[in-house]
Structure 1
Amino acid sequence: MKLYPIESGNFKLDGGAMFGVVPKTIWNRTNPADENNQIDMAARCMLIEDGKKLILVDTGMGDKQSDKFFGYYSLWGDNSIDKSLEKYGFHRDDITDVFLTHLHFDHVGGAIKWNKDRTGYQPAFKNAHFWTNDNHWEWATKPNAREKASFLTENIMPMQESGQLKFIERPEGDFKKNSELGFDILFADGHTEKQMLPTIHIDGKTFVFMADLLPTAGHIPLPYVMGYDTRPLLTLDEKSKFLNEAADNGYYLILEHDAHNEIITVQHTEKGVRLKDTFKWQDLLT
């Protein structure tokens, strides 16, 4: 099994929203804001090459929304899924499966594109199955008022209409070993209902794709919870349990939204779990 970073693009978000109740004077030290109070963000996806399977984890925002929509997110840089795939010798038509940690627009937008004459939508990965779970699908297709702006119909329903949608079988607890796609999955409910975090074991190391349980390295301290989370107190508990386990076992944490740190490890300190080391992808995986 091989893992590759797929940089789908960069954007910016309001730093206050990203750190919730934490004062700017504190979070600005690790995630400095610009003159509009926005911080740098990545949409770092992951490609898993495993035998005949080529699995893309998340897809970024895509490019089908309006200029007005993208104007809210201050896009920057020239990364794209196609450029990243080409770098490693792949094409989007090679993708066999698209695993979606959850269906917020910055994770699923790239799964669907305009059709040729821009009269409707079609899958951006024509040979792939799209994987979510039934609880999260129900949550996303009947959204609460808080999350409605993050679950866009045009990103979600075309997957079902195409016949390419599949559901991960859920475990009784919050962890599923050896899923249908060949890797373990950690389920988390604080950010949104049944977010799924791929957990992969390679050469004695455990890699966890953190999605929105830990957006950036700056979010390691427990109270640093996003204002976007639907159940912030649950996020706090989930982070505590996971980060202590990660520190105990030396997990490598792949950061989806940190524009400047790709992979990190954490350690126990007198102040709680804190950052230990940072790594470039090529140092560990390619």
Structure 2
Amino acid sequence: MKDTKGEKLFFVFNYFMLCIVGLSCLLPLIHTLSVSLSDAHAVRSGFVSLWPSGFSLESYKSLISGTPVVRAFQNSLLITVVGVVLSMVFTVMAAYPLARKSFYLRRFLTLAIVFTMLFSGGIIPTFLLIKELGLINSYWSIWLPGLVSAYNMLVLKSFLENIPAEIEEAARIDGCSELGLLTRIVLPLSLPVIAALTLFYGVHYWNIFMSVLLYIQNVEMHNLTVMVQQMVNSQSLLIEINKQQPDDLSDITPEGIKSAGIIVMVLPMLIVYPLLQKYFVKGVMIGAIKG
């Protein structure tokens, strides 16, 4: 069936708007990358646009030697890896029983979880609770409050509900226990949606910012996002780097180092996303289909 003239015009307009939105996100990132790879003279002169001028890695060398970027990167990696593992384990533990039609409190607990998507305790009560629990300056203050995302749990629950009951019945007839059914049958079949949710959680924990500012008062425990934000707002960046390498200030600029920090922050997610992209759309779309 051929598309009508109106449908063709709609597709052209839709693709055009998507290209505009895509370029609005991509061009600033390309410019930031170009600034981080350009020499100091070109950056000071404002000659850098979408292509590096006078290729130089001095900004990255100064970033590594003059700032705590390595330590912050390690902190971000720890927060992300442990957070993703914990969140995925508890998301599966929450979604699996709620997807069972035989579970008595299934409807009540699902509505209770949806309620949390609409209302929350607020920043001040949450901070007071974290303080009373003694979790200040502990990464548990980051992991525990957002351990399970209600949206991600509902997506996984919807996916699990679409797994044919005949597969589970056959596994039980063969003597498979409930834990064996989950680990050997359900989870392998749920690989697309698990990969998509892993990406969701990974982006969340890698980019987490406000919770670190509120609960982590020890500067040495700050993650990469907070460190880059402080770099961008800092007016004394060159003074700090000057203590490490006083002879190389002519080869660096604050803009170049800040741009290098931003690239270091977003690069891991840019690498991970293409690896999980084939599961991304499939997992979310299947999990959104009912019946």
Same fold judged by TM-score > 0.5?
no
Which is helix-richer, 1 or 2? Answer: 2
The alignment's TM-score, normalised by the length of structure 2, stands at: 0.19
User: Higher relative CO (CA 8 A, sep ≥ 6), structure 1 or 2?
Assistant: 2
TM-score, structure 1 normalization: 0.20
